Structure 1
Amino acid sequence: MTGIIRTVLGDIPPERLGRTDYHEHLFQSTPLLPGEELDDEAASTTEARALHAAGIDAMVEATPVGLGRDPGGVARVAAATGMHIVLTTGAHREAHYLLGDPLIDDSADTLGRRFTGDLTTAAADPSDAVPAPPGPHGAPVRAGLLKAGIGYWSISAFERRVLAGVGAAHRATGAPVMVHLEHGSAALEVLDVLGGEGVPASAVALAHLDRNPDPGLHAEVCGRGAYVGYDGMARHRTHPDSVLLDCLRGTVERAGADQVLIGGDVARRSRYRAYGGLPGLDYLPLRFLPRVTAEVGADVATAALVANPARWLTWDAAASGAA
């Protein structure tokens, strides 16, 4: 595999990434989740250290612009834990931003330039007068992933501008893309929109598709070349982990294991042990992944944790060289 993966401590070759949790949050603050802020660097470091100790080598920190993202903090967590961490740029679905947030009124061109700058120069949020200070390695902290989000079976005008901005930044850099799908809706429609912006499905991971546990749909997404994100484990109020495992098995039977990603997306202080909650980030490697191995197959677990995230997160050699 050629190209690089851009982490907060610098670029690495894909073969160094290791076992990867494709979707987590270390820092986050959103009006949709009052009281659930992840804003304590020491606690987030402790939580990441537990994830690493349980066998995860790398993670995507999936908080986009304007929601408490802390590039310098993420770089310090990476340095303290030894994990490879990929920072995210882009914007979430519109409901996460307060009315009057300056990001909401930005044009697609402005968003594209901002996202590209985060990827190539240094990560900075709209409220920052200057980019984030250098990380513990002495170099600017840069994002390695683009993110967009949509509502439940809806794409607002702002969300369409974000998708266009993500497309522009992808065309400029070759960086990978993640899209938040509310309750797993509109998967194929989002791929169509991004395709129109010059983003191939092979660069895209669709987060939360397992909130709609339909293996036929998931196989169709895989057939388009996109990655299917399974990140709904330990949400038993919605459905037990067995539903996700059955869906994963059905998807693999139909489409193989080459387009599957697994992450926790815990994203709430009440569910991080280091913040006083349960079950913690290490639920994924300690509780869920052993069941994937036992019930779906060790080869599927390895593909979802190692080969697939490394392929998805890799910038192509020509684009990464230009950046």
Structure 2
Amino acid sequence: MPETRRPSVVPETSPRVTTAAGIIRTVAGIIRTVGGDIAPEELGRTNYHEHLFQVSPLLAGDELDNEEASGHEAISLVESGFGAMIEATPMGLGRNPAAVARIAARAGLHAVHVTGAHHGGHYPEEHPIRALSENELVERWTAEIHLGFGEDPGAAASISASNVRAGMLKAGIRYWQIGPFERRALAAVARTHAETGAAIMVHLDYGSAAHEVLELLERDGVSRDRVVLAHIDRNLDSGLHADLIASGAYLGYDGPARHREAPDQAILECLERVVARVGSDRILLGGDVARASRYLAYGGMPGLEYLGRRFIPRLEVRLGADRVDALLADNAARLLTLAVNDG
């Protein structure tokens, strides 16, 4: 891996502040997308959790690996009312940052790509990522945020995209289980966060162990307001959700259209109760469609357009269009903003 360093990306017009030591430093907030750094106000309505590419032994036969088809899905996402998305595929699962950058440019979409790791169930025992130490993970992930994506360990094809950088971190846990691999990854994302300031998404199987994950990250130095807990709506407990938000965390609701697990009505009702108790400024919405059999362009359904065309209008009826618009645009921008220094 190349030497890790913090590049100077702050525009000359950024505000200048003087530290207690008398050092003048330029400070700015940016969001790091696959197309380059943007101002937070440029982000727009954001689907916080999708996958344009993903290959996993847990999803055999449902691979997302076709740039043209994934590109059509990205266009449908834009046409359904979104200007941005988080590409949530981490290391070792068929990610393709260069292709995501091309797709985003063609679709007119801001895409923030994660780096990090999923839970161990996605990586067979022989997968090279399992052999990486905590220090090696930190080195790789820090470099992918500061410098650009490198090769995936054990990847069959090159995905190096040195001019494309990650803008967020990801880790994952299994259902009520944080094993040695998951604990190492959580520790590594915490240390990478300290080096880069990047926010952290944590996959929670069925919304489990939410408080436990936050406590682990907090002990590792991560403030709760830099964490989003994905799949919290696989456990539709509005009291739990309100407590998590009150503690400072962001919650990711990404279960719309998963009717075998919960109808949209149940998610809408839960959201309404949570907002009534603690407000809406710590809520993120996504689809996590994540499978070829669920993408229109791959021959499945309901596709990336479902969230914008089917779910959001129903949420607007309950919460009001202005509040939902602010929820979709402002919350993601606040979470994803990085403070980048040139001093």
Q: Which residue of 1 aligns with 2:153?
A: 126
TM-score (norm 2): 0.89
Distance (Å, rounded) in 2 between the aligned partners of 1:69 and 1:284: 23
Letter in 2 for 1:52: V
The amino acid across from 2:258 in the alignment is R
Contact 1:105–1:158 (CA under 8 A) maintained in structure 2: no
1:214 aligns with 2:246: no
User: How far off is 1:292 after superposition?
Assistant: 0.5
* AA partner of residue 286 (structure 2): G
In the aligned structure 1, how far is the partner of 2:67 from the partner of 2:159?
A: 19
Correspondence for 1:147 among 170, 179, 186: 170
1:113 is aligned to 2:117: no
Contact 1:26 1:267 in 2 (8 A): yes
Letter in 1 for 2:160: A
CA RMSD of aligned residues (A): 1.5
C-alpha contact (below 8 Å) 1:113/1:165 kept by paired residues: no
Aligned residue type for 1:306:
A
Letter in 2 for 1:127: G
Assess, with a 3 A threshold, how the Cα gap between structure 1 residues 254 and 87 changes in structure 2: closer, same or farther: same
Deviation at 1:301, TM superposition (A): 1.2
Q: Report the Cα distance in structure 1 between the residues aligned to 2:97 and 2:340, rounded to whole angstroms.
A: 24
Q: Following TM superposition, by how much is the alpha carbon of 1:103 offset from its aligned partner in structure 2, in angstroms?
A: 0.7
Give, in angstroms, the shift of residue 122 of structure 1.
1.2
The secondary structure found in structure 1 opposite 2:57 is coil
Q: Secondary structure of 1:258's match?
A: coil
Structure 1 gaps of 5+ residues are 135-139
**Which string of whole-angstrom CA distances, capped at 9 and with x for unpartnered residues, describes residues 164-222 of structure 1?**
11011100010111000000001111011111111110100000001001111111111
Give 2:94's aligned amino acid: G
Could you report, residue by residue, the CA deviation over 1:53-84 in whole angstroms, capped at 9, with x for unpaired residues? Answer: 11100000000000000011101111111100
Give the aligned partner of residue 297 of structure 1. 320
Query: How far off is 1:316 after superposition?
Result: 2.2
Q: How many residues align?
A: 315
Do the aligned partners of 2:96 and 2:159 also contact (CA within 8 Å) in 1? no
Residue correspondence of structure 1 range 30-49 to structure 2 within 5 A: 30-49=56-75
TM, length-normalised to structure 1: 0.95
- Contact 1:231–1:265 at 8 Å: present in 2 too? yes
Give 3-state SS (helix, strand or coil) of 1:37's partner: coil
**TM-fit CA distance, 1:308:** 0.2
Corresponding residue SS for 1:100: coil
Mapped to 2, the partners of 1:206 and 1:232 lie a distance apart of 13
1:39-188 matches, cutoff 5 A: 39-124=65-150, 125-127=152-154, 132-133=160-161, 140-188=163-211
The residue aligned with 1:225 is: 248
Kept after mapping to 2: 8 A contact 1:260/1:303: no
Unaligned runs of 5+ in 2: 1-26
Q: Sequence identity of aligned pairs in percent?
A: 54
Q: What amino acid does structure 2 have at the position aligned with 1:72?
A: A
* SS of equivalent residue, structure 1 residue 132: coil
User: In terms of Rg, which structure is larger?
Assistant: 2
Q: Which of 287, 301, 304 in structure 2 is aligned with 1:278? A: 301
Tell me how far 1:224 sits from its aligned partner: 1.2
Query: Structure 2 CA distance, aligned partners of 1:280 and 1:257?
Result: 26
> CA offsets, 1:35-62, max 9 Å, x none?
0000000000000001101110000000
Which stretch shifts more, 302-311 or 66-75?
302-311
Shift of 1:268: 0.4
| Shift in CA distance, 288/67, structure 1 to aligned 2, threshold 3 Å | same
SS in structure 2 of the partner of residue 316 of structure 1: strand
How far, CA to CA, are the matches of 1:191 and 1:204 in structure 2? 8
CA apart distance, 1:2: 5.0
Once the two structures are superposed, residues 242-292 of structure 1 have per-residue CA deviations (whole angstroms, 9 ceiling, x without a partner) of 000010011101110110000000000000000000111000000000001
Distance 1:309 1:165 in 2: 23
Q: Judging changes above 3 Å, is the alpha-carbon distance between structure 1 residues 130 and 290 closer, same or farther for their aligned structure 2 residues?
A: closer
